């Protein structure tokens, strides 16, 4: 068949994300991240380790208001198909490649999630498993992973349709696109990826392509190298170690290329520094399965698995109810996901990656000698896709990377259109032609900034209303700073404070929020002053700020969460109980509020309430979070009167937590 591109509805159980969190979550005061290293990690692999890997969320808002109440939901999918492969994309969910079917064998090559069920694993909280995810800009599951992005039709070399996924990324002010091609007769889904830094300053950057494939005892993960950087879990503090495959300490020296040998959630990063064609495969007992390969810029590879302990098995079912267990094979620009990378001003980075079905001799794929196994796959792969063929693909699709989409199939946010307008108004270089951001995508959140840009005024609103979306881009901060009306506009000052805080001007942020409160007291400014007080270690000011915020907007869920968390942190459980009882029923039903109430009940010795709350299945627990299991064990310690560590260890053995509240990454 000829290549086709079309949209069709995909109906499955899904969860509504709910309103985004109105409170700004500020970046770590240290932009870098401490990474503990084992003495085995070579000095060359220390370069940029942890660089710009601190938590960073703004200008985006947290997506943390969802449940586990799924309903049949219709999503728009886009299907790119030829006679050998059928690829299904979800543009409303970050462009996730939901399914890739090898048609001659009718085999699904990816782990396909039967539901859309968010969980708390991404930068902005909400994340879901399965398929292939495209992670850009900042360390972690990407900002847009549960958000709509642009999709448009493009044209291949023989006139066949292709698909472009693209968006403007607001945190680093980068542009990114992936052009997918599936020429007639091609056994490879071709993805040509491009990141552009259109700014006059360099930027840290991040890219990892995360592919979920079905996990089984006989599935082996292979890549063209003998060495990995791995997370060593054998010490009290996890460390980055370096060692030869396949027998790693963190796998208790078993063959780590089989993920079900892992006793805890585990990961390792292949280091194919000399590979001419980096690749990674997950192949079953017959030597068949999924493989991906790329041009050398996308050099590094990773394996992630959840482990065989109870917490890991629970995560699998929690993320994909009724689905198949999965592991992930990933491809990135840096030696690990905790290695930073600097992108120069005006840089334009491009690479080509291919995905497809692979088969070879099972005995060689599962050969006990690691090097023999991967060399075999490398040799067979290059008979199916030569270095010359891949280089030619890359050259052809680089040449096509600036073509405009002929039809927009799905729209993303209006922020790209706003950036186009700003650059035009301020006489800056326009964005590359490939990125088409129509002006009709501009909405109310963008129009208030357009008003500042064109009319010199920033609109205001009722201080009790939700504050809307945030902006931290330096160009917009300069406009607010220089505008004579900002000093008399509480709302402009609120935004200015957020901008200053995100760029480490804590004193300037406090000044802006104090001025904002003097004009019109708002919960938002008081809460933000409490954030500064916490950084300064001023517990009295923290309490005052949160109490003032709570008093002004007691029906805001996120303020209730922060107020209760503060009271629990301070050991004020009776006061926390009174606040909980004052909440509206809708707020009481929130998962995070319920977990806080379980802690309050435990500390008040209301064990019947604790046990009742332990029967609930919570949606928003963070990866590795132990609060629920801590509360569970605390309940049993009290029942048994256990005080010594010996007695507590006995209680834990006799009363293991039920699986539905066990989110531990490792049982320690």
**Full domain range(s) for residue 549:** 475-661
- Over the stretch 487-505, which tens digit does the pLDDT of each residue have? 999 999 999 999 999 999 9
Please count the other Cβ atoms lying within 10 Å of the Cβ belonging to residue 650.
13
Q: Are residues 481 and 363 both part of a single domain?
A: no
- What is the C-alpha to C-alpha distance for residues 247 and 50, in angstroms, rounded to an integer? 26
Share of the chain above pLDDT 90, in %: 94
Please check whether residue 421 lies inside any domain of the structure. Answer: no
Per-residue pLDDT for 633 more than 60? yes
Please check whether residue 144 lies inside any domain of the structure. Answer: yes
Contact 300, 292 (CB under 8 A): no
Q: Are residues 137 and 247 both part of a single domain?
A: yes
Please check whether residue 316 lies inside any domain of the structure. Answer: yes
Average pLDDT of the residues in 360-388 = 98
Please check whether residue 642 lies inside any domain of the structure. Answer: yes
- Over the stretch 276-316, which tens digit does the pLDDT of each residue have? 999 999 999 999 999 999 999 999 999 999 999 888 899 99
Tell me which long-range contacts 104-107 makes (C-beta under 8 A, separation of at least 24). 105/357, 107/357
- What is the C-alpha to C-alpha distance for residues 584 and 267, in angstroms, rounded to an integer? 43
Q: Are residues 375 and 480 both part of a single domain?
A: no
For the CA atoms of the chain, what is the radius of gyration? 26
pLDDT confidence of residue 253? 87
Q: For residue 622, which of 583, 599, 595 has the smallest C-alpha distance? A: 595
- φ/ψ (deg, to 5) at 355: -130, 140
Q: For residue 319, which of 71, 130, 125 has the smallest C-alpha distance? A: 130
Q: Are residues 208 and 328 both part of a single domain?
A: yes
Q: Are residues 388 and 481 both part of a single domain?
A: no
Average pLDDT, the chain: 96
pLDDT confidence of residue 666? 62
pLDDT confidence of residue 222? 98
Q: Are residues 39 and 127 both part of a single domain?
A: yes
Contact 128, 142 (CB under 8 A): no
Please check whether residue 541 lies inside any domain of the structure. Answer: yes
Q: Are residues 494 and 355 both part of a single domain?
A: no
Name the DSSP class of 63: B
Average pLDDT of the residues in 25-40 = 95
- What is the C-alpha to C-alpha distance for residues 428 and 346, in angstroms, rounded to an integer? 13
- What is the C-alpha to C-alpha distance for residues 121 and 116, in angstroms, rounded to an integer? 14
Domain CATH code at residue 343 = 2.70.98.10
Domain CATH code at residue 650 = 1.25.40.10
Per-residue pLDDT for 232 more than 90? no
Q: For residue 164, which of 403, 424, 425 has the smallest C-alpha distance? A: 403
Please check whether residue 428 lies inside any domain of the structure. Answer: no
pLDDT confidence of residue 417? 98
pLDDT confidence of residue 249? 86
Burial class (CB in 10 A: 0-12, 13-18, 19+), 44: exposed
Average pLDDT of the residues in 247-266 = 92
- Over the stretch 563-577, which tens digit does the pLDDT of each residue have? 999 999 999 999 999
- Over the stretch 128-149, which tens digit does the pLDDT of each residue have? 999 999 999 999 999 999 999 9
Q: Are residues 353 and 501 both part of a single domain?
A: no
- Please say which residue of 384, 399, 414 terminates a domain: 399
Q: Are residues 507 and 651 both part of a single domain?
A: yes
Q: Are residues 379 and 500 both part of a single domain?
A: no
- What is the C-alpha to C-alpha distance for residues 426 and 433, in angstroms, rounded to an integer? 18
Please check whether residue 299 lies inside any domain of the structure. Answer: yes
- What is the C-alpha to C-alpha distance for residues 283 and 260, in angstroms, rounded to an integer? 14
- Over the stretch 143-186, which tens digit does the pLDDT of each residue have? 999 999 999 999 999 999 999 999 999 999 999 999 999 999 99
- φ/ψ (deg, to 5) at 236: -65, -35
Per-residue pLDDT for 667 more than 70? no
Per-residue pLDDT for 1 more than 80? no
Verify cis geometry, omega within 30 degrees of 0, for the bond prior to 59: yes
Q: Are residues 210 and 294 both part of a single domain?
A: yes
- What is the C-alpha to C-alpha distance for residues 250 and 291, in angstroms, rounded to an integer? 25
- Distance in Å from the first CA to the final CA of the chain: 55
Please check whether residue 405 lies inside any domain of the structure. Answer: no
pLDDT confidence of residue 459? 95
DSSP string covering 492-531, please?
Answer: HHHHHHHHHHHTT-HHHHHHHHHHHHHHS--HHHHHHHHH
Q: Are residues 22 and 160 both part of a single domain?
A: yes
- Over the stretch 538-563, which tens digit does the pLDDT of each residue have? 999 999 999 999 999 999 999 999 99
- Please say which residue of 362, 384, 399 terminates a domain: 399
Distances in Å between the Cα of 352 and the Cα atoms of 26, 79, 135, 196, 224 are 35, 20, 16, 15, 18
Average pLDDT of the residues in 634-653 = 93
Please count the other Cβ atoms lying within 10 Å of the Cβ belonging to residue 407.
10
pLDDT confidence of residue 234? 80
- Over the stretch 45-76, which tens digit does the pLDDT of each residue have? 999 999 999 999 999 999 999 999 999 999 99
Contact 341, 204 (CB under 8 A): yes
SS3 271: coil
| Confidence (pTM) | 0.95
Number of domains the chain contains: 2
- Please say which residue of 379, 399, 419 terminates a domain: 399
């Amino acid at each position: 068949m000829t290549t086709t591109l079309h949209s069709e509805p995909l109906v499955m159980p899904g969860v509504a994300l709910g309103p985004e969190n109105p409170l700004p979550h500020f970046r770590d005061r240290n932009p870098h991240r401490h990474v503990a290293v084992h003495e085995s990690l070579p000095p060359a692999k220390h370069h940029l380790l942890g660089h710009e890997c601190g938590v960073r969320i703004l200008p985006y808002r947290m997506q943390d208001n969802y449940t586990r109440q799924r309903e049949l939901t219709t999503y728009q999918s886009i299907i790119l198909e030829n006679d050998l492969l059928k690829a299904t994309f979800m543009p409303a969910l970050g462009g996730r490649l939901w399914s890739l079917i090898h048609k001659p064998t009718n085999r699904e090559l990816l782990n396909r999630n039967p539901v859309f069920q968010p969980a708390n694993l991404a930068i902005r909280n909400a994340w879901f498993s399965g398929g292939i995810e495209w992670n850009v800009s900042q360390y972690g599951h990407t900002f847009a992973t549960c958000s709509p992005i642009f999709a448009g039709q493009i044209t291949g070399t023989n006139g066949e349709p292709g698909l472009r996924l693209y968006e403007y990324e607001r945190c680093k002010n980068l542009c990114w696109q992936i052009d997918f091609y599936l020429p007639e007769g091609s056994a490879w889904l071709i993805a040509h990826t491009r990141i552009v830094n259109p700014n006059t300053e360099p930027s840290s950057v991040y890219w990892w392509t995360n592919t979920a494939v079905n996990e089984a005892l006989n599935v082996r993960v292979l890549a063209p190298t003998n060495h990995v950087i791995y997370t060593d879990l054998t010490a009290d503090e996890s460390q980055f170690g370096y060692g030869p495959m396949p027998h790693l300490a963190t796998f208790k020296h078993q063959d780590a290329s089989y993920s079900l040998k892992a006793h805890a959630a585990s990961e390792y990063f292949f280091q194919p520094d000399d590979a001419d064609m980096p690749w990674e495969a997950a192949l079953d007992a017959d030597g068949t399965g999924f493989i991906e390969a790329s041009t050398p810029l996308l050099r590094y590879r990773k394996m992630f698995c959840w482990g065989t302990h109870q917490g890991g098995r629970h995560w699998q079912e929690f993320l994909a109810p009724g689905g198949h267990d999965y592991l992930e094979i990933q491809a990135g620009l840096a030696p690990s996901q905790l290695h930073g990378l600097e992108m120069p001003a005006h840089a334009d980075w491009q690479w080509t990656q291919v995905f497809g079905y692979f088969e070879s001799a099972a005995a060689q794929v599962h050969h006990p000698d690691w090097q023999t196994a991967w060399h075999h796959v490398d040799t067979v792969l290059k008979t199916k896709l030569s270095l010359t063929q891949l280089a030619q693909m890359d050259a052809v699709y680089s040449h096509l990377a600036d073509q405009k989409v002929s039809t927009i199939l799905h729209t993303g946010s209006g922020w790209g259109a706003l950036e186009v307008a700003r650059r035009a108004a301020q006489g800056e270089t326009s964005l590359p032609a490939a990125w088409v951001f129509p002006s009709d995508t501009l909405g109310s959140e963008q129009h208030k900034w357009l008003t500042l840009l064109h009319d010199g005024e920033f609109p205001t609103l009722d201080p009790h209303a939700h504050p809307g979306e945030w902006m931290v881009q330096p160009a917009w901060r300069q406009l607010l700073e220089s505008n004579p009306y900002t000093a008399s506009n509480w709302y402009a000052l609120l935004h200015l404070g957020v901008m200053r805080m995100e760029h480490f001007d804590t004193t300037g942020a406090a000044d802006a929020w104090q001025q904002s409160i003097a004009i019109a007291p708002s919960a938002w400014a008081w809460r933000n002053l409490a954030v500064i007080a916490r950084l300064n270690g001023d517990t009295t000011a923290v309490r005052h700020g949160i109490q003032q915020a709570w008093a002004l907007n007691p029906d805001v869920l996120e303020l209730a969460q922060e107020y209760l968390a503060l009271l629990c942190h301070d050991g004020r459980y009776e006061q926390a109980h009174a606040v909980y009882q004052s909440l509206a029923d809708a707020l009481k039903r929130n998962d995070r509020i319920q977990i806080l109430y379980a802690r309050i009940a435990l500390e008040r010795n209301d064990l019947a309430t604790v046990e009742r709350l332990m029967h609930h299945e919570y949606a928003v627990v963070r990866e590795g979070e132990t609060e629920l299991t801590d509360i569970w064990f605390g309940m049993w310690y009290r029942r048994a009167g256990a005080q010594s560590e010996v007695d507590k260890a006995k209680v834990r053995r006799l009363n293991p937590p039920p699986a539905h509240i066990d989110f531990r990454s490792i049982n320690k």
